Amino acid sequence: MSTGSGADSAPAPATHDSPPTPDGPTAPSRTSGSRTPSAPAPSAAADSPSPAPAPARSAPPASSSSSSSSMFSSLKIRNYRLFFLGQVVSNTGTWMQRIAQDWLVLSLTGSSAAVGITTALQFLPMLLFGLYGGVLVDRLPKRPTLLATQTAMGVTGLVLAFLTLSGHVQVWHVYLAAFAVGLATVVDNPARQSFVSEMVGPGQLQNAVSLNSANFQSARLVGPAVAGVLITGVGTGWAFLFNGLSFVAPIAGLLLMRARDLHVVERAPRGKGQLREGLRYVAGRPDLVWPIVLVGFIGTFGFNFPVWLSAYADDVFDAGAGAYSLFNTLMAVGSVAGALLAARRGTARLRVLIAAALAFGLLEAVAAVVPSLWLFALLMVPIGVFGLTVNVTANTTVQMATDPVMRGRVMALFMMVFVGGTPLGAPLVGWVTDAYGPRIGFALGGLVSAAAATAVGLVLARVGGLRLSVGWHRGHPRVRFVPKERLATAA
């Protein structure tokens, strides 16, 4: 069901009933009834929780409880359960096609740069049209919109399967299919993220979208493994066929939902200047700007795994498609762990985002130089944990700070920067990988990600008036940012 990097990892806002945390108060909520929301920018303190979102305009009482009582509590809601089960099937197909697509391009061309071009074409529409997709999503009803986008992506998979199984596939066919899927994703991603709030209401949002992420990443445990068997056994075309047919499940789930159980969220009326309105809204909010800047750097330089992992499997370790599937599967193990931890986490903190981004970049740099295939493969697990944590925490931070009537535009900007940076980074990383080797390319992506995390962390600390505090807590060293007034009092 999801097509972009971490596309189903977009957490939803937390409930308004969450009490203030010891690290800082929660900002007051904003209402969704205003067409042009405006709110003073809260402090972007690295230790402060993001502000809570506005409530939906109306919500059925059955699912409006304050906070989740268990890791899987949102599955008690029928509409969300149908949505979730559809994703189980479709996400498996998505990962199968992703593996098969990368391997097909590599086998047709023998070039890592060509794999990078394929990835770039899939995410180029988000870079070009992502903001306009957000404007459309804020205006349109979400369920019919998702029915259209899911159908389009399913048809694309079936066409690619026919071309591959008939023996007529050429690399430009794969390029065109990747671009077509990217066009559908422009609307599908923000629509799907916004639709979660309509299915579960404010009390289960954080839990529901964290489970979406776990669902998507869990498919990486099955999809790559099945794709590896199909590629080596009967060919890539069968993986494309399964993906095309897998979209029947989410489409059926959307059709079976009860419209009366959906939480009605106000849609933005059609009008001029809505794109500029969304950009101004974000520009005036440092708690939105800096997480978006950070994920932009990481999405552009740190998430080019199709380029790196295929090159490591083929060139560095000479282990074939099975090793490529293994690398993706082990990364999925870490990603699932990160997603389930996010489902239990009550709030999103910017310090968690910065720390996870720094660890992610450093682990990539370390993995780039390890000599053993098995050690490289094992490092995919913590890389998956921290990569997913970056994605979840950044999405949570942004969504919790955004007015519902603006959410489609803000999340479209977020995805445009995160996913849309890939068309810029993938060909560059692919060229570096071809020219200087996979180890140099992978290390470069990790070091850029770590440098971006460090720079954004220092900026957030300065904007929030924070200072570094080093001390001991319960017998262990503790390094954190605290308000400079508190540090001065302690001294």
Q: What is the DSSP string of 303-318?
A: --HHHHHHHIIIIIS-
Give the separation between CA 473 and CA 387, rounded to whole angstroms: 28
Of 360, 368, 367, the closest CA to residue 387 belongs to 360
* Contact (CB, 8 A) for 220 and 332: yes
Report the pLDDT value the prediction gives residue 484, as an integer from 0 to 100: 53
* Beta carbons within 10 angstroms of residue 234's beta carbon: 11
DSSP assignment letter at 85? H
Report the pLDDT value the prediction gives residue 106, as an integer from 0 to 100: 86
Q: What's the token pair of residue 424?
A: 């810029």
* pLDDT tens digit at each of 491 positions of the chain: 444 444 433 333 333 333 333 333 333 333 333 333 433 333 333 344 444 444 444 444 444 344 434 777 788 899 999 999 998 899 889 888 888 888 889 888 888 788 888 888 887 887 788 788 888 888 888 899 999 999 999 999 999 999 999 988 899 999 999 999 989 988 998 888 778 878 987 777 777 767 887 787 777 677 777 888 888 888 888 989 999 999 999 999 999 999 888 887 666 656 566 777 777 787 777 778 888 889 889 888 988 887 888 889 888 888 887 888 788 878 878 888 887 777 666 555 777 888 889 999 999 999 999 998 999 999 999 998 898 888 878 877 787 777 777 777 787 788 778 776 766 787 888 888 888 988 999 999 999 999 999 988 888 777 766 555 555 666 655 555 555 555 444 44
Give the separation between CA 63 and CA 66, rounded to whole angstroms: 9
Report the pLDDT value the prediction gives residue 223, as an integer from 0 to 100: 78
Which helix (H) or strand (E) covers residue 291, if one does?
helix 286-301
* Contact (CB, 8 A) for 354 and 452: no
Give the separation between CA 388 and CA 385, rounded to whole angstroms: 5
Angle at 409 between CA 407 and CA 411, to 5 degrees: 65
Residues forming a β-bridge with 472: 477
Chain CA centroid to CA 90, Å: 16
Report the pLDDT value the prediction gives residue 474, as an integer from 0 to 100: 63
How many Cα neighbours within 13 Å face the side chain of 159? 15
Angle at 54 between CA 28 and CA 83, to 5 degrees: 140
Q: Is the dihedral of CA 177, 422, 343, 77 positive or negative?
A: negative
| 3-state helix vs strand vs coil in the chain, percent to 5 | 70, 5, 25
Give the separation between CA 264 and CA 257, rounded to whole angstroms: 14
Residues forming a β-bridge with 468: 481
3-state SS, residue 258: coil
Backbone angles phi, psi at 473, to 5 degrees: -140, 115
Of 425, 435, 313, the closest CA to residue 377 belongs to 313
Give the separation between CA 49 and CA 45, rounded to whole angstroms: 8
Per-residue burial over 106-144, b = 16 or more CB atoms within 10 Å of its CB, e = otherwise: beeeebbbbbbbbbbbbbbbbbebbbbbbbbbbebebbe
Amino acid at 272: K
68: Cβ contacts below 8 Å, ≥ 6 apart: 74, 203, 204, 206, 207, 343
**Residue 235 φ/ψ region, left for φ over 0, alpha for ψ in the -120 to 50 degree band, beta for the rest:** left
- CA distances 483 to 104, 455, 456, Å, are 53, 19, 17
pTM of the model: 0.64
Give the separation between CA 17 and CA 63, rounded to whole angstroms: 14
Report the pLDDT value the prediction gives residue 466, as an integer from 0 to 100: 57
Q: Could you identify the residue written with the tokens 């977020």?
A: 414
Of 302, 390, 400, the closest CA to residue 353 belongs to 390
308: Cβ contacts below 8 Å, ≥ 6 apart: 429, 433, 438, 441, 442, 445
